Amino acid sequence: MWSHLHPGSSPIDWCEENYTFSPHIAEFINTMSNFLFFIMPPFLMYLHRDYARHCGQGIHFIWLLLMVVGACSAYFHATLSLLGQLLDELAILWVVMACFWLWYPESALPARWKGQPSGRRKFSNIFIVFAFVVSFLGFVQPAVNAFCLMLLLFPTLLLMGLQLKIEKDLRILNLGQRSIGIIGLALTAWVNDRFLCSYWAGVGFPYLHGVWHILIFLSSYTSIVLFAYCDVVNHMPTKVPKLRYYPYNSCELGIPYVFVMDKEEASKEKI
């Protein structure tokens, strides 16, 4: 077990040359490119304070988990240890599973779970069990983690597509399209860094995995905003969600967040 802590014990080594900027940090750019995971979640908690007041504190837990992802990723790239790799992958897994547990739509439930008073919650518990099982298997066979994370991308995109298909709010549709587009760019950066390293090293830019970190954070938090919004629409008939942008609500290139009010408040606002 102690050997997993040793620097360089991970079988994965990204394109960035090791220890070029610091004798103490293996992949300096890949480590520092996690900065958004530390800067943004506290501010997103502040923006979603009304959402948490109306819909529960679960969304704050998701923002905290994103900070854990950033810390684990930074530790992995700073040391390239096997333990760091496992923590990095498992942190991502738990964020996805926590989002499914909180916001999986009832419309997408298997037939046997639909219509049951607590069917949605019972079905969602499967995701937590899955996360524990994969976490255990990941320590036994680390390749399991990467395989499961790639598999989870498909149901995530499918659920997002199903929600956007029935959505009429143009702002939500625009944000969904941007989020999916950023996911595509992030995956392109990841694949290029992993499989076309010699080319990018040759042109002097072996840092595409750092670009992946920035893009995947942007796509992750916008996806979280979308799922949080859709959960209110789908399961909270007494609430009205509104997609807003900081600092200027009129500019859709700002920071998106979900503002929630009671339906009575919304009707008074219209009057």
pLDDT per residue as tens digits for the range 88-103: 999 999 999 999 999 9
Residue 114: other Cβ atoms inside 10 A: 13
Q: Residue 32, Cα to own-chain centre: how many angstroms? A: 18
Tell me what pLDDT residue 15 has: 95
Residue 147 has pLDDT above 80, yes or no: no
**Identity of residue 209:** H
Tell me what pLDDT residue 271 has: 45
Q: Which helix (H) or strand (E) holds 149?
A: helix 143-166
DSSP state of 205: -
Structure tokens at 4: 């997993």
Residue 76 has pLDDT above 70, yes or no: yes
Q: Residue 21, Cα to own-chain centre: how many angstroms? A: 29
Residue 61 has pLDDT above 50, yes or no: yes
Q: Which helix (H) or strand (E) holds 37?
A: helix 36-47
Structure tokens at 49: 């304070």
Positive or negative: CA dihedral 152, 153, 156, 161: negative
Q: For the chain, how many residues are written?
A: 271
Residue 142 has pLDDT above 50, yes or no: yes
Strand bridging mode 239-246 / 255-262: antiparallel
Residue 210 has pLDDT above 70, yes or no: yes
- Alpha-carbon gap, residue 229 to 173, rounded angstroms: 12
Compute CA distances 226 → 13, 85, 172, 217, 233, whole Å.
34, 29, 7, 14, 11
Cα radius of gyration rounded to whole Å, the chain: 20
Q: Please state whether 84 falls in left (phi above 0), alpha (psi between -120 and 50) or beta.
A: alpha
Q: Residue 192, Cα to own-chain centre: how many angstroms? A: 21
**Identity of residue 85:** Q
